[in-house]
Structure 1
Amino acid sequence: MMRIAIVDDDPIVCQSLETILTATGAADVLWTANDGDDAVGRYFAAPGTRPDILLIDIQMPGRDGLDAAREILEHDPAARILFLTTFADRAYITRAMALGAKGYLIKQDVTAVGPALQAVMAGQVVLGSDVLGKLTGGGDTTASTPPSHRHGSSGGQENPDEAGSCSADAAAMESMLNEREREVAALVAEGLDNRDIAKRLHFSEGTVRNRVSGALDKLGLTNRTQLAILWINTHR
């Protein structure tokens, strides 16, 4: 069973999530915290207190969830952090994902938390439908884990206010990437995985992987989630 920690400024939320996840056998809750400072302290208190996944809110008294996540990832780049919050602000979402978070969910249906945790453990990056709508500027979507976000690496250590400031703006993106890399980046942003991109462009999957890697290297990014967000931000 996966071991998680829950950070939320509302103790009732922590207790409710712990009860539900424990009762359903979805996870074993190691500890809970109600602010960012306590979360960082508990996370690094001892090797045994580091959870498989840290489920954390955004706005909390004192240090917020974004700042706490940043410090944790600076010292433990392999940390899996999943944001669960009521705030669907685009700036929050892009900052969270640029940090290297493994997902961003809006507090609506607590039954979705368990499957999201399982997806993160399986190496996926999970974005709720409301979150995808904010990033794309489109309407509602039913996809909670877009295919293009399923194989991202652990987060980098950028500290931008938004994903577009990771390393390049729109003009730089156009000049730094060749035509094929731009084609692939656009399809990554649409939610296609390597297999679908290969079919669309009549490439091999290996070629697509190389194009994605080339784009990440040129733009100074660490995973395809950042590439997708950067493309969306600079082409909206």
Structure 2
Amino acid sequence: MKVLVVDDDALVSQSLVTILSVEADVEVVGVGNSGPDAVAKYDQLRPDVLLMDVQMPGGDGLTAAEQILAAHPEARIVFLTTFSDDDYIFRALKLGARGYLVKQDIAQIAPALRGVMAGVSVLEGHLLERTAKLAPGAGTGAGRSRRATVFASLTDREYEVVEAVADGLVNAEVAERLFMSEGTVRNHISAILAKLGLRNRTQLAVAWYHSGN
């Protein structure tokens, strides 16, 4: 697979090139250092996977990803960052990114890229089945289909909590929207995670975004 690496830290970029170059099935075709650089080099090199940082002084990766995906909806973009932050992850998923990895998990990078090439999404080293993205008009046919499959075991109230979490709301905001206490929200989220076999609210949001039809 052909990989384009974009990171504003030259040492990180060189380390990634070194790590990936020893893999027999990986070819690093280019290196960039900013969002605009990523857009230009993607158009020029057309890599199989773009491995990109989120925060870069010369232009952030999320904005670059939005521009690239607008022109190339099939683009495989994987974010590699030190910021394991729900807000970044939600925004990346909404844009259509195929993965979100933290830089500490160096050993997971090559396997994660192979997973992306095979058609799955990757979140912090964990492979997740990739189905259709959340379509416009949640709550219509797509919403009913989602409820009938992945979230069938949830109560109506739990499902409303899932929707709020998928919108990126923190517990206080979920409580305000659904007219319940924060303690009740926490209890619902714990019950939901247990029913679905998930570890945290980030995985819950990922399940939501990849469950639409």
Contact preservation (8 Å) 2:5, 2:13? yes
| Offset of residue 62 of structure 1 | 2.8
Structure 2 unaligned runs (5+)?
Answer: 155-203
Q: 1:87 to 1:66 in 2, by over 3 A?
A: same
Q: 1:188 to 1:71 in 2, by over 3 A?
A: farther
Q: 1:74 to 1:24 in 2, by over 3 A?
A: same
Contact preservation (8 Å) 2:20, 2:27? yes
Is 1:73 paired with 2:52?
Answer: no
CA–CA separation in structure 2 for the residues paired with 1:188 and 1:44: 44
Aligned twin of 1:118: 114
| Offset of residue 188 of structure 1 | 10
Contact preservation (8 Å) 1:26, 1:114? no
Counterpart code for 2:87: A
Aligned twin of 1:4: 3
Provide the secondary structure at the position in 1 that maps to 2:119: coil
Counterpart code for 2:207: A
Aligned twin of 1:100: 96
Q: Structure 1 vs Structure 2: percent identity of aligned residues?
A: 44
Counterpart code for 1:186: F
Aligned twin of 2:129: 150
Aligned twin of 2:147: 182
CA–CA separation in structure 2 for the residues paired with 1:96 and 1:33: 19
Counterpart code for 2:97: A
| Offset of residue 182 of structure 1 | 1.6
CA–CA separation in structure 1 for the residues paired with 2:153 and 2:80: 24
TM-score (structure 2 length as normaliser):
0.66
Provide the secondary structure at the position in 1 that maps to 2:149: helix
Q: 1:23 to 1:186 in 2, by over 3 A?
A: same
Counterpart code for 1:27: V
Q: 1:36 to 1:188 in 2, by over 3 A?
A: farther
Pairwise mapping of residues 154-233 of structure 1 onto structure 2 (< 5 A)?
167-168=137-138, 172=139, 177-178=143-144, 181-186=146-151, 228-229=207-208
Contact preservation (8 Å) 1:185, 1:231? no
Counterpart code for 1:15: Q
Aligned twin of 1:53: 49
Aligned twin of 2:180: none
Provide the secondary structure at the position in 2 that maps to 1:51: coil
Deviations, residues 189-236 of structure 1 (Å, cap 9, x unaligned): 9xxxxxxxxxxxxxxxxxxxxxxxxxxxxxxxxxxx97733599xxxx
- Alignment RMSD: 3.1
Structure 1 unaligned runs (5+)?
Answer: 130-143, 159-165, 190-224
Is 1:35 paired with 2:34?
Answer: yes
Contact preservation (8 Å) 1:185, 1:227? no
